[in-house]
A and B are shown apart, each in its own frame.
Chain A
Amino acid sequence: MVKRYDCDIVVVGAGPGGSMAARYAAEGGLDVILLEKKAEIGAPLRCAEGVAKKWLAEVGIEPDPKWICADMKGAIIRSPSGFKFQLDESKAGSEVGYVLERHLFDKALAEKAAEAGAKIMMRAGVTGVIKDGERLVGVKGNQFGEDFEVYAKCIVAADGYESQVGRWAGIDTNCKLTDIDSCIQYRMVNIDIEEDYCDFIIGGDAPGGYVWVFPKGKGVANVGIGVMGSKCTGNADAKYYLDKYIAKTPGLAKGSIVEVVGGFVSTCPGLDDTTADNIVLVGDAARIIDPLTGGGICHACRSGMYAGKVLVECAKTGDFSKAALKPYEKMWRDRMEDKLYRNWMAKERLAELDDETIDEVVKLISTANIDEVNVYNLLKAIKEKFPKVVEGFEDLI
């Protein structure tokens, strides 16, 4: 027996993107079902938990001490030979932020969706889409051993990096190997860290990516690494490079690991198509992630919110065709695409630089007089001394 549900909008995945889409669609009066495959929203962790602060108000999220684990004063970028560039809140307000408790943050967003009227179904894994001829009419899956079908006017694919729903619906969500990072992270305790700073280590320690140390309190941090897919060799590269970095860093080597998580991020500037007839892709599923930092939470929240709002408009005419969903494409691209493309170019260049050049670049930006530190101003400073590094995307700087 297959259980059948009917609604206006079915959202697949209760991460930040899915919950935001569900919330804004439900607030607009739509009948929303939000499906989550896992047994707990926000866990197991697949994230470094660092976010900037500024965007939260933009998407209607009130900072809550419940899910803020640590408030950062700034960030540090370290080069292979240990040159250090420190960004402080006074100079880098827009880039500095919180380290979250994702298991609480994600639940708080889901709670907002539920308050708005969305129905959440847990342990409801989606295994495919349902079509009526060529037309997408819903998704099918299994919840607690029982097969189900959810029929909806539009699907929101918020299934994260796995991004299978879009592919089942015919949207190409594949990324090149240079546009994915293979990641592993340890929660480490009893370590020596700069408690108020998010630490980024770039260069050969993490081929094509970086090592991060994001503090979660006294002597505790998320210590992780991303390695560019094209630089992986099948020999547990992410784990190999992270273990190697920890072993040579005395303040980390003395600590203990209390949690191990794996994960992936896309590092392309977003998909060419994030909509089709009766389907919208948001967040990681749409590959809308900062390609330089791998940060995706704010992008997921923004794109989720835009999707929810556009769906409310579409419902007024009942038209959820690709043409009717176009305002969604326009909203997220207007807000984020230039920056995503610029950071994608910067990531591509950074991955090609040798350690000596990275040392030089970090030395340069640490001595340059930059008033307001953000990626834009950093690239501008680099452009003056190392024009080759920004060649091809100068017009975006």
Chain B
Amino acid sequence: MKVDYHKCLHCGGCVGSCPQNAIYLNDYVLEFDAGLCNGCGRCVKICPVAALSKEV
């Protein structure tokens, strides 16, 4: 996952919405556990400011 920190509001919505519990909000930084992430894209879909995208 890629985060655009110019957009991110650090609201933690992606953290609580991740079915894999693969995201951790460490202060103002989102940490992704690549081993847990299954690429479902839910965090990308629901972010209120479209700060997340799938890495290509």
| A234-B44 contact in complex given A125-B26, A264-B13, A264-B17, C-beta closer than 8 Å | yes
Q: Which residues 17-42 of B have a CB within 8 angstroms of A? A: 17, 19, 21, 24-27, 41-42
Instruction: Indicate whether A263 sits within 8 Å of B13 (C-beta atoms), given known contacts A177-B42, A233-B45.
Output: yes
Q: How far is the CB of A176 from chain B (nearest CB, A)?
A: 10
B15 adjacent to chain A (CB < 8 Å): yes
A162-B25, A261-B11 given; A238·B48 CB < 8 A:
yes
- Inter-subunit contact A262/B50 (CB<8 Å): no
Query: In the bound complex, how far is the Cα of B45 from the Cα of A237, in angstroms?
Result: 9
Q: Which residues on the A side are within 8 Å of B12 (C-beta)?
A: 46, 160-162, 264
Chain A residues whose CB sits within 8 angstroms of the CB of B17 once the complex forms:
175, 180, 229, 264
Chain B residues with CB under 8 Å of A162's CB are 12, 15-16, 25
Given contacts A127-B24, A162-B25, contact A182 B19 (CB under 8 A): no
Q: Is the CB of A234 within 8 A of B11?
A: no
- For A160, A263, A264, the residue with the greatest tally of chain B CB atoms inside 10 Å of its CB is A264
Q: Whole-angstrom distance between the alpha carbons of A229 and B46 in the complex?
A: 6
Q: A164 touching B21 by the CB < 8 A rule?
A: yes
Question: How far does the alpha carbon of A183 sit from the alpha carbon of B16 in the complex, in Å?
Answer: 13
The minimal Cβ–Cβ distance linking B29 to chain A, given in whole angstroms, is 11
A261 to B9, CA, bound (A): 6
Q: Which residue of A lies closest to B25 (CB)?
A: A162
Docked pose: A161 CA to B12 CA in angstroms: 8
Complex Cα–Cα for A244 and B16 (A): 27
Give chain B residues whose Cβ lies under 8 Å from the Cβ of A317: none
B11 near A263 with CB under 8 A, answer yes
Of the candidates B9, B19, B44, the one having the most CB atoms from chain A within 10 angstroms of its own CB is B9
The residue on A at minimum CB distance from B9 is A262
Residue B49 lies at the interface, judged by CB distance under 8 Å to chain A: yes
| Complex interface: chain B residues within 8 A of A239 (CB) | 48-50
User: Which interface residue of B11, B17, B46 has the most chain A CB atoms within 10 A?
Assistant: B46
Other-chain contact of B10, A232, A233, A262 (Cβ < 8 Å): A262
**Cα distance A11–B56 when bound, in Å?**
40
Contact between A262 and B49 (Cβ–Cβ < 8 Å)?
yes
How near does chain B come to A120, taking the closest CB pair, in angstroms?
18
Instruction: Give bound CA distance, A381 to B24, whole Å.
Output: 45
Q: Is the CB of B26 within 8 A of A262?
A: no
Give the distance in Å from the alpha carbon of A321 to the alpha carbon of B26 in the complex. 31
- Which A-chain residue is minimally distant from B53 (CB atoms)? A234
Cβ–Cβ contact B50 & A163, under 8 A: no
Residue of A125, A182, A183, A236 ringed by the most chain B CB atoms within 10 A: A182
Given contacts A162-B12, A162-B15, A167-B21, contact A177 B46 (CB under 8 A): yes
Cβ-defined contact, B45 with A262, below 8 A: no
Contacts of A238 in B (CB 8 A): 48-49
Q: Does A376 contact B (CB under 8 A)?
A: no
Min C-beta distance of B44 to chain A, whole Å: 5
Chain A residues within 8 Å of B49, by CB: 184, 236, 238-239, 262
A174 contacts B by Cβ under 8 Å: yes
Contact B48 A184 (CB under 8 A): yes
Q: Does residue A193 face the partner (Cβ distance < 8 Å to B)?
A: no
Q: Give every chain B residue within 8 A of A233 (Cβ-Cβ).
A: 45
Interchain nearest-CB distance for A296 vs B (Å):
13
Residue of B nearest to A163 (CB): B16
- Is A55 part of the binding interface, using a Cβ–Cβ cutoff of 8 Å? no
